[in-house]
Structure 1
Amino acid sequence: MSSLSDGLQFPIDPATQKSSSSNVGKEIVAEALSTVDNQTAKQVLNEKNWRKNYPIYFKALVENGIKSVNHPITIAKQGLHKAQHSFDFFRHGQRYSLKDVMNVPITEHIQTITLKGHAQTQPEWFVPYHGQNLKGAALLKQIQVWEDTGIIESSHAQALREAIAHPEWFDLSDRTMVLFGAGSEAGPLTWLSQWKANIIAIDLPNERVWERILKTIQGGNATLYAPSFGKIDDVQNIQELKTKLGANLLTQIPEITQWLCDNPHKLDLASIAYLDGEKHVRVSMAMDSIMSHISEQKPDSSLMYMCTPTDVYAVPKEVIYGATEKNQQRSKLETLLSKSIATVSMQHFFQNNDQQLIHSDNGQAYGIADCLVVEQGPNYALAKRIQQWRATLARHEGQHVSINIAPSTTTHSVTKNPLLKAAFNGASLFNVEAFHPETTNAIMAALWIHDLRNPDSVSNPKTTMLHPLELMMEGANHGGLWRVAYLARTALPFAAIYGFATDKLPIKKVFKKLKK
């Protein structure tokens, strides 16, 4: 756990003199549920094995959210309110509640360093995929394949087709785009740097990270605005710049917020920073604090989030029908083997996906795609849920919000976990596709632009939705996880075994026969 030091921290328990991310997580989820399902909220607080059983309660958030069009707003308001009151911010030994962070005296003002790209090229979009740069007819064909095989939802496919049909959307010289965690491997920096964007990049003071950011900008046609707390003699010298740029989202919340509020332009704010473990919750709260304060001062700002496919979501009933169909289309051998393993393991493995529909008070029925992976942990789930809550509430209050589910991607932060790496390698066993970072980056960057440019996108608060949770349903690229015949986490060990084995043994043909 985090030590008592400057910046955003989990609170210290006076009795133990330690902080507990589990206790804070339980309290936030319980508060979010308290009005819509008080009994489950009490169970959350009494849960003894949060690390193992947290998926039960995150699913309850979605299940209760579906039942009424008002519930997602209530859940989001209460969850965010509790979260804002659950963290501390320290500076020079002085403790502040995170909700009061903007009262912290600003000791240093951020200087803006400007760097323009050298390229004269016009904006262009394509999708790197299996060694090819797909565009035009070739890209349309691949989009159709992904849609037909259930890798992406139809709304995602349609958004990509719209992007192909509107190349003029990609000239971003009229947009000022703020990237929190600009150096993120799954982020859109590379593409924005080729689309004439005005990019405000925020990342830690780290020479390696900033050298990559600076070289990316120099090689493109965009303009970079970077934070610095020190004097820089030569703003064209990358070797000097990389040592003096950067701002810390965890320790410099007031300074970053003020710097961005002082910017005269309309801002598109992208929450893409990632840190491991409990730090992910803290950086999510830091970004949320900054973005909510900016939104109050600059209400025309837009918000952007990327969701993980390994979470639990409300889904259209068509997804449930698709998962049911996949279940019914299994070969006799696969059905027999999976049932046998499920029985022997007492339903720990190959548990059937929940195919029940839940009726909402809007007259519609929705399903649940529970793709949570226990190994990723409750901190990861909470960090992403906080972002969904903010997106839901901000759009409800009239703000433009782009939030889309990105596919499972073989980034370093994922593949450094051996189990997840092997599972992604073996995902094809269950008709799931894990994307390479360059493919995901291209797709998700284009989807963000679609959401900003297309007035009919659900990101636009003027576009009618039947249910607030449809904001996350639209535009989903889950890589096929929503339509897997089994509860994803109960099939994960076998995908991992398959992934390990395919690296060592020629067994793909055997498994293909099994699936026929």
Structure 2
Amino acid sequence: MVDEQHGLVFPSDEEGRRSTTALGRSVVADALRPVDEVGARAAERETAWRGEYLLYFRRLVEAGLGAPEDALAVARAGLDSLHGRMRVLGDDGEAPLSAWPGGTEGFDQVEVTGAGERVEELVLPYRGDRLCGDGLRRQVDRWVEAGVVEPSVADAVGTVVDNPGWLRLEGHTVAVIGAASEMGPLQALTRWGARVAAVDLPRSGLWDRVAETGRAGAGTVVAPVADSVPGADLLADVPALVEWLAAQPGTLVLGNYVYADGATNVRVSTAVDELSRRLLATRDDVALAFLATPTDVFAVPRDAVEQATERYESRSAMSKTIGRPLRAASGGRLLRRAYAADSDPGLNDSLVPQQGPNYALAKRLQRWRSMVARHEGAIVSMNVAPPTRTRSVVKNRALAAAYAGAHRFGVEVFDPSTSNVLMAALLVHDLHTGGGPRHDHPWQDEAYAAAHGGLWRAAYAPRSALGLAALLGIGAARA
């Protein structure tokens, strides 16, 4: 259930309850219905949604693997369902999302000009080093060889290294929604001299950090202001934000970097999606940017399947000796091979039960919008980000322990300082290359330049090793 309701809310039932489970179950069922009626009916009738949602989020990807039109049908139906069901709570009661009134006053604007020296080449902080040029290329090549990133990451990063003038993003305004996010590109973009429209909650502590980052950089940071307070509430201010962002100069890049705990994550992600939808209808030069979570379900290329299969088959004698009784004792749940050997594409299921169905829906919503917008001709940067030690992750003890032990299973967990510069570089690449190469099927667009940390190419299915990784990482996580 959801408390402290205002602005964008979950729909209420006849008794006035706002159930996140009912909403999630219904949206997933609606998304499946165009291509998987059996799956849709099963989702509708699922009585243990919080325990069984993993199956249905996997099924959403499986259902779209046939023709490209199937994936698009799932995405469109999911978006339509969510936007049709969510409501806006106002003084006159609830209204549909499409009728969100523009009753809030428009925003003024505050501007911060950076006084720092512009960073004129791509420099990646990594384990105490600052990598650039050939040193950076060699590190990315090592990640490719280790299966930590897809080979196309090396291509994209190398192109940015070859074109350092791209970093400034001349002629663009990048709207960083969730400007204070650890995974957001605010610091990298300002150091490179870009113009950023920063949107986050109207809290002094958040804005102080954003303004400090802007002053230390070499670009320009603008932010919406109401009643002399910088910031905006996404749950209430989408109509006013549309007006403010629509007036920004240059090509507008709408970057979604929001995160909130629990059900609020679905609400703020839906708000950003409504913001995106309205801006795409208002301007013809809007690009979208997203970071996909690696802890989701993705179709992966055949060479990823082959590398994972080779690792499984060549694992040490000790691993085989330990693995057999563990699999037997767990009913086959522990240390399962990642893929059937002939899978093309493979299906990587890295969903983490501890993150919950609301997190899964919020992140899947972004993938659906990315897919539909790209198909309709918009420039879209949607890249899978690596597992990263952000505060929101490590405060969960089970996840923190699993991340601490992940290296034992071929998965590299990144520091935030590395992740956000790497992902900002991939954003720059995409904006200068029309969103990157176009592929025949949407799953191939998602797999391009994926920095999954090794989850796609490890020997074991990720969830079958998660508990053991956590057990092995408990001590390191506490330290």
User: What TM-score do the two structures reach when normalised by structure 1?
Assistant: 0.90
Tell me the SS of whatever aligns to 1:250.
Answer: coil
Asked if 1:170 corresponds to 2:155, the answer is no
Distance between the aligned counterparts of 1:441 and 1:404, measured in 2?
12
Match of 1:139 in 2: 136
Distance between the aligned counterparts of 2:223 and 2:10, measured in 1?
29
Tell me the SS of whatever aligns to 2:453.
Answer: coil
Asked if 1:121 corresponds to 2:113, the answer is no
Match of 2:49 in 1: 50
1:439-458 equivalences in 2 (<5 Å): 439-455=418-434
State the AA in 2 paired with 1:80.
L
Deviations along 1:219-240, one digit per CA (max 9) or x if unpaired, are 1111111111124xxxxxxxxx
Residues 309 and 341, structure 2, Cα contact 8 Å, conserved in 1 = no
Question: Which stretch shifts more, 258-267 or 129-138?
Answer: 258-267
Residues 173 and 195, structure 1, Cα contact 8 Å, conserved in 2 = no
Match of 1:149 in 2: 146
Q: CA RMSD in A?
A: 1.6
1:15-414 equivalences in 2 (<5 Å): 15=15, 17-101=16-100, 104-231=101-228, 244-355=229-340, 365-414=344-393
State the AA in 2 paired with 1:225.
V
Distance between the aligned counterparts of 2:132 and 2:119, measured in 1?
15
Distance between the aligned counterparts of 1:115 and 1:307, measured in 2?
30
Deviations along 1:241-267, one digit per CA (max 9) or x if unpaired, are xxx211011111111112112334320
Tell me the SS of whatever aligns to 1:90.
Answer: strand
Deviations along 1:160-191, one digit per CA (max 9) or x if unpaired, are 11111111111223211101101101110001
State the AA in 2 paired with 1:29.
V
Instruction: Return closer, same or farther for 1:293/1:495 CA change in 2, 3 Å cut-off.
Output: same
Tell me the SS of whatever aligns to 2:125.
Answer: strand
Distance between the aligned counterparts of 1:263 and 1:109, measured in 2?
14
- Cα deviation for residue 357 of structure 1 reads 5.5
Match of 1:10 in 2: 10
Structure 1 unmatched runs, 5+: 232-243, 359-364, 506-516
- Cα deviation for residue 502 of structure 1 reads 4.5
Residues 173 and 249, structure 2, Cα contact 8 Å, conserved in 1 = no
Asked if 1:438 corresponds to 2:414, the answer is no
- Cα deviation for residue 351 of structure 1 reads 2.7
Asked if 1:477 corresponds to 2:451, the answer is yes
Tell me the SS of whatever aligns to 2:120.
Answer: coil
Deviations along 1:63-98, one digit per CA (max 9) or x if unpaired, are 111111111111111110000011111122531111
| 1:466 equivalent among 421, 426, 440 | 440
Deviations along 1:279-301, one digit per CA (max 9) or x if unpaired, are 11111100000011001111211
User: What TM-score do the two structures reach when normalised by structure 2?
Assistant: 0.97
Tell me the SS of whatever aligns to 1:305.
Answer: strand
Instruction: Return closer, same or farther for 1:345/1:389 CA change in 2, 3 Å cut-off.
Output: same
Runs of 4+ in 1 over 6 A off after TM superposition: none
Residues 124 and 194, structure 1, Cα contact 8 Å, conserved in 2 = no
Distance between the aligned counterparts of 1:466 and 1:424, measured in 2?
34
Tell me the SS of whatever aligns to 1:18.
Answer: coil
Asked if 1:486 corresponds to 2:425, the answer is no
Structure 2 unmatched runs, 5+: none
Tell me the SS of whatever aligns to 1:427.
Answer: helix
State the AA in 2 paired with 1:5.
Q
- Cα deviation for residue 4 of structure 1 reads 6.1
Q: How many residues align?
A: 479
Tell me the SS of whatever aligns to 1:470.
Answer: helix
Distance between the aligned counterparts of 2:102 and 2:406, measured in 1?
50
Instruction: Return closer, same or farther for 1:156/1:13 CA change in 2, 3 Å cut-off.
Output: same
Distance between the aligned counterparts of 2:53 and 2:324, measured in 1?
26
Tell me the SS of whatever aligns to 1:85.
Answer: helix
